[in-house]
Structure 1
Amino acid sequence: MIHPTPRVLVADLREHLGRTVSVCGWVNTLRLQRTMQFVLVRDHTGTTQVTHRRLGADDPLEERIEGLTVESAVRVTGLVVENPAVRLGGLEIVPERVEVLNLAEAPLPVNELTGLEHRLDWRFLDIRRRPAAQLLFEVQTTVEQALREFAYAEGCTEMHTPKLMGTASESGAEVFELGYFGRSAYLAQSPQFYKQMAIAAGIDRVFEIGPVFRAEPSFTSRHATEFTGVDLELAWIEDVEDVMAFEERMLAHTLTRVAEQHGAAIQQQFGVEVTVPALPFPRVTMARAQEILRAGGWDREGSKTDLDPEGERALAAHIRQETGHEFVFVTHYPAGIRPFYHMRPAARPGLTLSFDLLWKGLEITTGAQREHRYEVLLEQAAEKGIGTDSLQDYLNCFRYGCPPHGGLGMGLGRVLMVLLGLDSIREATFLFRGPNRLTP
């Protein structure tokens, strides 16, 4: 019986120079010459060269290598030797044994010329074959770890809210309905109401990283029907400024961690420099933002109450030119385009104490101070024509001493899009879900 040699990762091969090791990975490239056989084997840490000199017809190793295909899963056992001519770290493996663990079919269904939509059909191969795609998920892990790290340090409690709801949130728009034991249930389009229930339950600061569902028939590069949301709610705030200040510090902490752990790799794979933003971020009211944009020719008819993607990009460009900053908070949105539970300033009830955060022209966050007074919530719901019978469980939270509070919701995929300079949220997601995509 052959006793297996312990597996060594490609990134650690130099520590094993002159020793026999086993490398497990995929066949990246085959160069089968008349006298030599070269196999590049790739694992999740890098690629190494396996070099075998042909010995003739009685050489079983030669036959085994000859039968390999690109992307076959293999275990190669051999001697690690130094060879300055090898560009992959100046090392190569002289094989003693090559085991084919799973032979890949040929040809592959995707290659470097395959378009995005077809690559998404074969996402496992797309990710496996592209180091940049694998790096994305390493960065995602660091981003989530840093967000949690900051939230824990700031006294937040991590919650897991239901994704099945008995009633459609708010007006019932943009929700997925499904059968539930003879009645209807809905997939949560936000943990918003549940975060506020946690605040009413006396949990001082709440955050969640979890799935969000939006039944939007949108086909843009930044929308998805299922995505990962980063949600936060803070009790006992003085005003909405407390929420914005929390977020900008959280993002600065997160980007510091990403720069430390992945800055060089991101620069190499994506051509993007990770910079840690200065604090505070610029703030501009929605009214002032529209003045700036209309002076530049946006919305000449003056009919838009919200910023469209063109407006967001133009505003971000203006702020960057004026301040050098890539982030900007847009504040005080009109009440007509914000949910009924956003608080309104007493002096200007037509506005809300709300904000969006733009990063390089893409909205990554929506937040606000919430209205915590029961009677005011009823008035604002009625104003928007929202029936409150189905919201009674939510509204009950405000009848028995709910404190002032506010929070935000941030899209993890959008953060990764901007951070890595990606063109589409489809590439910032493991398995994308949109109006036309429910597979794989």
Structure 2
Amino acid sequence: MTTIRFLATLALALALCVCCLPAEATLQSFTYRGYVTRIDTESGNLSMLATHQWRCTYENGTASCGWTGITPVPLMGTVPSAAAFSMILSGQVIEASSLGMPGGHWTGIGVLAPIYAEQGYFGTALVGDPGSLPVPLIDGYSVTPVTEPDCHTCTGSVCEAILARITVSRNGETVATASLYPGDTCLYLDQEDQSGVNVTFISGQASAALCPNASPFMTGPQPISIFTVLVIPRSGEVSPFPEAKTGSVSVLSVPSGSRVYLNHELVGSTPITRPGLMPGSYVVRVEKEGYLTWEKSITIHQGSSNILTAGLVSGSGSLSIKSFPWNARILLDGEMKGYTPLLIQNLPVGSHALEIEKPGYQTATKTVQVPAGSIGLVVITLTPEATEE
């Protein structure tokens, strides 16, 4: 009986311990700096030769972190998003982070550029979780995302993120905020020096602890989100790679996901970077359904990195049509639209033939212009028909 009671007590104690254990321990982060050695778009892998590791030491409760030189080691991992392949080139200096082990799956990858005046590397672009990468962005920018959970999709300590609240700061001061759903993009441009930041929220996770009635004892892996961040540096801020014989062009657009043509050849969708371009003149065209075509001629020089931002304008507009007297019949391009006063929306931008008719008045005809993305106002005063005496 004593043995049975002991075994029962032991079983109960083990059960209680299992219940108290976290679903999964927080995973250790590994971050390396080095050179891209291979990009494999088919497998989704990016390989690098790591020459430095980000390490922290602790003394009297204070952390001191920085890059430590290591024996060069090759590492490989899958990229956070296929967007990395349009932003990262073989041979570039990058920082890359992973959880649980070196490589395997990159949680964040940042493109680095040396700023000699500052005597260090600064980030010009990143894909993945911004919080996993320690190198500051160029020109004093920083991007801080806070994700909100969909509490119906939680697994353990993490949930799918339905929204990301973005704060863009420069030199410690907030310059822009935005709320992004997956697939949304925000763009901040400094009107003084024409620098800026383009942020796209691809997908993400949020902590289940933010949900109502969440257990205060739940622990587990840290939530990871995927963004793309592209910094538009001040002119001349980023030095070209030495002895580069080709140049590149990066094209952003608002909204993103627009088709990009280079010398009339479709090369992909925004945001996109095209490296390896021979010096010469190029025509960049950006198109998206429902928007006016954007086009610009550029010149590629050896070692140059050209960054273009296409602010697309809506390809439709509206007309607000009024008449004196009112209740007159409206024909636009020969088609009956209604009676004055009337607001007609979603009209193609450009010239249209307008006719205003009302019994007892002369028909008024006029060519009107529909403005892009706004409302054009048309006011017509009808002339009474002549009466016979």
**Normalising TM by the smaller chain, what interval?**
under 0.3
TM-score by length of structure 2 reads 0.22
* Structure with greater strand percent: 2
TM-score (norm 1): 0.20
